[in-house]
């Protein structure tokens, strides 16, 4: 357990902040600021400014540009390309396929071979007798010479190349041509993945590549996207949005298997588990379709593994299938996952990790990030922008959202120190405007209210949302709308009653009401 906690502490870097442009104008009112204490005031003012969540400094994909590689890495890449080109030109990438006939024919061939061997043995015996009879003063030189000549003739027959064997220079992986002579810019990116998976040991990387190509051929992976597999598992894993580096994000929801009917339908027997594995490989292939396998492109995925309500390792079938899936993905899809983030981690995760750990490389394990239930949103924000995080994880992304798109406006942040109160003002400069906003507080445990304050001092303040306490069990962010019939501003008030600093994320937009 302590090892995983250490992994979490070292891999999850602190989030930095950068200034954000107007128009959002938060104001912090801190009752604990003492008049005349310039240092405290300065801290309060700096925390009250709008901020944008910055990506984790430790989260950066390794460069695939030749100029950025170290000398030994460039040398290893050149050697691997040379070995690959020689293997392709020599038709040595795939195992030689031997024609397979039916069992009766194979049995017949075996019997004929046995008879042939028996006859050859008889001939050898006869020849040995002749040699004994024909010995001369020169000793055994004559028969030995004859045997050598016969052996040489047999060897020449065996070395004859197969007629009609053509060189396949169109061998590709994940849509990227592998023959170096083609000069395709993505070839280096793919080969570097195998080299990094084997610590730039050329021979090991080459063997891994060959095994992957052989496995894909035997398993018919290139046609897997056309298969209709496990339609019931669409909610178990899916692609949704991108992270801060442009990597596609894949969510794996283990909690769906808490449903006994779906569990048995998926893992009930070996055949069903085989279909599950093929479905998981199909999802991986779909994910790769969204990658940019070129230098400078986003060439790996971000994996989110949600363990909330997961059946856990007590379910033998799930444990076996998970182990098999991990093995297949690690052996045949090297360096295609930038980070593996485990969220809503229960206590049994550490037992499962201990079970799978021996089958994982150190490089794979170094990409693991662990987040307990209380830290889910905070952890995801380090890697994914708030507008790309699904609402069930504390972000602002909603299915079929008609109000916001990810390009609409940036998400701002303000910091609330313990015991402080902050307000966010959303201006409605004109009448007949509809304002819509999203707001979330990391950790919640705050008091919250919404008001519309008219510009005209003679008008009344309208309570949009009366003051209420929101606990840490709050599901998702707050979204609300207000239509202003006169100029004014919507004021969102957040009171931090806890003893810990809080982070508030928000965004808003105003749109003119339609007139008929």
Least confident residue range of 27-41, 234-248, 487-501: 27-41
Look at residue 488 and tell me whether its pLDDT is greater than 70: yes
User: CA of 438: how far to CAs of 52, 91, 216, 344, 498, in Å?
Assistant: 15, 59, 46, 23, 22
Confidence of residue 314 (pLDDT cuts 50, 70, 90): confident
Least Cα distance to 209 among 364, 329, 334 occurs for 334
pLDDT of residue 350: 72
Q: What would the mean pLDDT of 306-314 be, rounded to a whole number? A: 86
Percent of the residues in the chain that have a pLDDT greater than 90, as a whole number: 60
Cα–Cα distance measured from residue 490 to residue 481, given in angstroms and rounded to the nearest whole number: 10
Look at residue 160 and tell me whether its pLDDT is greater than 60: no
Cα–Cα distance measured from residue 62 to residue 39, given in angstroms and rounded to the nearest whole number: 41
pLDDT of residue 8: 34
Q: What would the mean pLDDT of 486-491 be, rounded to a whole number? A: 95
Contact 245/120 with Cβ under 8 angstroms? no
Cα–Cα distance measured from residue 240 to residue 253, given in angstroms and rounded to the nearest whole number: 12
Q: What would the mean pLDDT of 501-508 be, rounded to a whole number? A: 95
| Angle made by CA atoms 264, 269, 270, in degrees to the nearest 5 | 140
129-149 in b/e form (b: 16+ CB < 10 A) is eeeeeeeeeeeeeebeeeeee
Least Cα distance to 278 among 337, 233, 211, 341 occurs for 233
Least confident residue range of 77-86, 104-113, 167-176: 104-113
Least confident residue range of 121-130, 200-209, 269-278: 121-130
DSSP 399-441: TT-SS--TTS---EEEEE-TT-EEEEEEEE-SSSEEEEEEEEE
Confidence of residue 341 (pLDDT cuts 50, 70, 90): very high
Mean pLDDT of the chain: 81
Q: What would the mean pLDDT of 180-209 be, rounded to a whole number? A: 96
Domains and CATH numbers, the chain: 16-53+410-512 (2.60.120.680), 66-96+167-219 (1.10.8), 223-384 (3.40.525.10)
Alpha-helical (H) ranges within 63-169 are 71-89, 103-133, 141-159
Question: How do residues 260-303 score in pLDDT, each as one tens digit?
Answer: 999 999 999 999 999 999 999 999 999 999 999 999 999 999 99
Most confident segment among 25-34, 147-156, 274-283, 315-324: 274-283
User: CA of 68: how far to CAs of 65, 183, 376, in Å?
Assistant: 5, 19, 34
Contact 442/378 with Cβ under 8 angstroms? yes
Confidence of residue 41 (pLDDT cuts 50, 70, 90): very low
pLDDT of residue 365: 79
Look at residue 382 and tell me whether its pLDDT is greater than 80: yes
pLDDT of residue 156: 44
Helix (H, G, I), strand (E, B) or coil at 82: helix
Give the phi and the psi of residue 210 in degrees, each rounded to 5.
-60, -45
Those residues whose C-beta lies under 8 Å from the C-beta of residue 38, and which sit 6 or more positions away, are none
Question: How do residues 352-363 score in pLDDT, each as one tens digit?
Answer: 677 667 777 778
Least confident residue range of 16-25, 138-147, 326-335, 454-463: 16-25
Cα–Cα distance measured from residue 331 to residue 290, given in angstroms and rounded to the nearest whole number: 21
pLDDT of residue 111: 64
Contact 248/239 with Cβ under 8 angstroms? yes
| 480 DSSP β-pair partners | 437
pLDDT of residue 62: 87
DSSP 360: S
First to last CA, the chain: 63
Confidence of residue 15 (pLDDT cuts 50, 70, 90): very low
User: 176-177 and 237-242: which strand pairing?
Assistant: unpaired
Question: How do residues 2-11 score in pLDDT, each as one tens digit?
Answer: 333 333 333 3
- Helix, strand, coil % in the chain, rounded to nearest 5: 40, 20, 35
Confidence of residue 364 (pLDDT cuts 50, 70, 90): confident
Q: What would the mean pLDDT of 40-65 be, rounded to a whole number? A: 57
Question: pTM of the predicted model, to two decimals?
Answer: 0.75
Least Cα distance to 245 among 187, 285, 303, 297 occurs for 297
Least confident residue range of 33-42, 214-223, 341-350, 412-421: 33-42
Read off the tokens for 72: 């030994």
Question: How do residues 65-103 score in pLDDT, each as one tens digit?
Answer: 999 999 999 999 999 999 999 999 999 999 876 555 445
Read off the tokens for 354: 């201990």
Q: What would the mean pLDDT of 195-224 be, rounded to a whole number? A: 97
pLDDT of residue 304: 97
Cα–Cα distance measured from residue 350 to residue 136, given in angstroms and rounded to the nearest whole number: 81
Question: How do residues 131-146 score in pLDDT, each as one tens digit?
Answer: 555 544 444 444 444 5
Helix (H, G, I), strand (E, B) or coil at 284: helix
Alpha-helical (H) ranges within 308-361 are 316-332, 349-356
């Amino acid at each position: 357990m302590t090892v995983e906690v250490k992994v979490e502490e070292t891999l999850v870097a602190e989030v930095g902040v950068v200034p954000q442009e107007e128009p959002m104008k938060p104001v912090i009112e801190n009752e604990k600021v003492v008049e005349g204490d310039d240092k405290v005031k300065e801290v309060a003012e700096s925390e009250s400014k709008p901020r944008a969540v910055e990506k984790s400094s430790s989260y950066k994909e390794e460069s695939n540009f030749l100029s950025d590689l170290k000398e030994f890495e460039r040398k290893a890449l050149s050697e691997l390309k040379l070995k690959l080109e020689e293997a392709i030109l020599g038709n040595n990438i795939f195992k030689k396929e031997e024609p397979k006939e039916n069992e009766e024919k194979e049995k017949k061939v075996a019997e004929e071979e046995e008879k042939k061997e028996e006859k050859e043995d008889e001939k050898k015996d006869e020849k040995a007798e002749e040699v004994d009879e024909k010995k001369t003063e020169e000793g055994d030189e004559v028969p030995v010479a004859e045997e050598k000549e016969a052996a040489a003739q047999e060897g020449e027959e065996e070395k004859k190349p197969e007629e009609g064997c053509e060189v396949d220079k169109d061998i590709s992986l994940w849509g990227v041509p592998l023959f170096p002579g083609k000069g395709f810019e993505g070839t280096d990116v793919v080969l570097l993945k195998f080299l990094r998976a084997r610590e730039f040991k050329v021979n090991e990387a080459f063997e891994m590549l060959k095994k992957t190509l052989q496995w894909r051929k035997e398993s018919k992976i290139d046609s897997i996207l056309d298969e209709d597999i496990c339609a019931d598992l669409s909610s178990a894993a899916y692609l949704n949005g991108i992270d801060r580096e442009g990597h596609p994000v894949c969510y794996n929801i283990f909690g769906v298997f808490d449903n006994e009917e779906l569990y048995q339908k998926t893992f009930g027997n070996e055949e069903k588990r085989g279909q599950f594995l093929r479905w998981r490989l199909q999802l991986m292939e779909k994910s790769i379709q969204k990658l940019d396998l070129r230098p400078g492109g986003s060439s790996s995925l971000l994996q989110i593994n949600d363990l909330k309500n997961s059946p856990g390792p007590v379910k033998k079938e799930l444990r076996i299938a998970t182990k098999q899936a991990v093995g297949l993905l690690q052996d045949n899809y090297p360096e295609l996952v930038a980070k593996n983030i485990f969220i809503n981690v229960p206590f049994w995760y550490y037992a499962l990790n201990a079970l799978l750990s021996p089958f994982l490389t150190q490089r794979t394990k170094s990409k693991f990030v662990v987040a307990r239930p209380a830290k889910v949103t905070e952890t995801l924000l380090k890697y994914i922008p708030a507008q790309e995080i699904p609402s069930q994880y504390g972000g602002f992304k909603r299915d079929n959202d008609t109000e916001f798109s990810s390009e609409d406006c940036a998400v701002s942040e303000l910091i609330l120190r313990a015991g402080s109160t902050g307000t966010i003002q959303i201006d409605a400069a004109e009448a007949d405007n509809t304002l819509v906003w999203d707001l979330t507080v990391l950790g919640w445990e705050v008091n919250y209210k919404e008001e519309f304050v008219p510009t005209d001092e003679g008008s009344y303040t309208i309570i949009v949302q009366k003051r209420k306490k929101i606990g840490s069990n709050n599901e998702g962010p707050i979204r609300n709308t207000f239509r202003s019939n006169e100029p004014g501003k919507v004021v969102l008030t957040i009171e931090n009653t806890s003893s810990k600093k809080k982070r508030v994320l928000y965004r808003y937009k105003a749109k003119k009401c339609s007139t008929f």
